Amino acid sequence: MVDLGKYFGHTKTSAGGGLCRCPKNTMSKIILNTQRLRLEKIEKSHLNDLYALVSNPKVQRYFPKTLNRNETKEFYEKIQNRYETDGYCYWAVVREGDNQFIGICGILKQEVDGQVETEIGYRILDMFWGKGYGTEAAEGCIKYAKEKLKKTSVISLIRSVNAPSKRVAEKNGLKFEKESIFHGLPHLVYRLLLKQ
């Protein structure tokens, strides 16, 4: 998954937490739909799912650390703050057929090398890897960034050892642009120009 979590202050803990089915007609705000998925605003009802995701060592492999329950709540609050200040952030990724939470994906405002950038970030639970969900969710976010937010380009910040995230970026048309230091760690910057 893409390295976007360092600024949320991760610390190490054990994995755990149960997954739930996400009711389709809850108070969750649906942001967008793809062929197999829907992306909806992360709300308190997603906290257990969020914890299962960010406490999973496989999911967090390319992030500095996993999160415990208190840090998951802090992560959730930072997402809510981003909704208020930026109008977007990570959203819950839910499979349409059975309303299964499978991860998070979204659009993040980042500063890279002194420039404000629009980043596409994603993390999918390992039990759902290899099914194209990350690529599909990211593609939906790219379209949203172009059509709803009128962005002219999007990036992904990827650690050089993170081959799966490179593949997701490349499948969605992003091209390697440069290397950069992001939150003290070396990252590859992939970019896609969005023609309006």
Q: Which domains does the chain carry?
A: 6-193 (3.40.630.30)
Which residues on adjacent β-strands are paired with residue 100? 21, 95
Compute the mean pLDDT over every residue in the chain, rounded to the nearest whole number: 88
Q: Tell me how far apart the alpha carbons of residues 21 and 55 are, in angstroms, rounded to a whole number.
A: 19
Give residue-wise pLDDT tens across range 11-36. 222 333 445 455 444 445 999 999 99
Task: For residues 166-172, give the mean pLDDT.
Answer: 96
pTM, rounded to two decimals: 0.85
Looking at residue 88, what DSSP letter applies?
Answer: -
- pLDDT bracket for residue 196 (50, 70, 90): low
Give residue-wise pLDDT tens across range 63-118. 989 999 999 999 999 999 999 999 999 999 999 999 999 999 999 999 999 999 99
Could you give the dihedral angle defined by the CA atoms of residues 130, 135, 140 and 145, in that order, rounded to the nearest 10 degrees? 150
Q: Tell me how far apart the alpha carbons of residues 6 and 55 are, in angstroms, rounded to a whole number.
A: 14
Contacts of residue 116, defined as CB under 8 A and 6 or more positions apart, other chains included, come to 109, 110
User: In b/e form, how buried is each residue of 73-109, taking b as 16+ CB within 10 angstroms?
Assistant: eebbebbeebbeeeebbbbbbbbeeeebbbbbbbbbe
Assess contact for 11 and 65: CB atoms under 8 A: yes
Q: Is 3 helix (H, G, I), strand (E, B) or coil?
A: coil
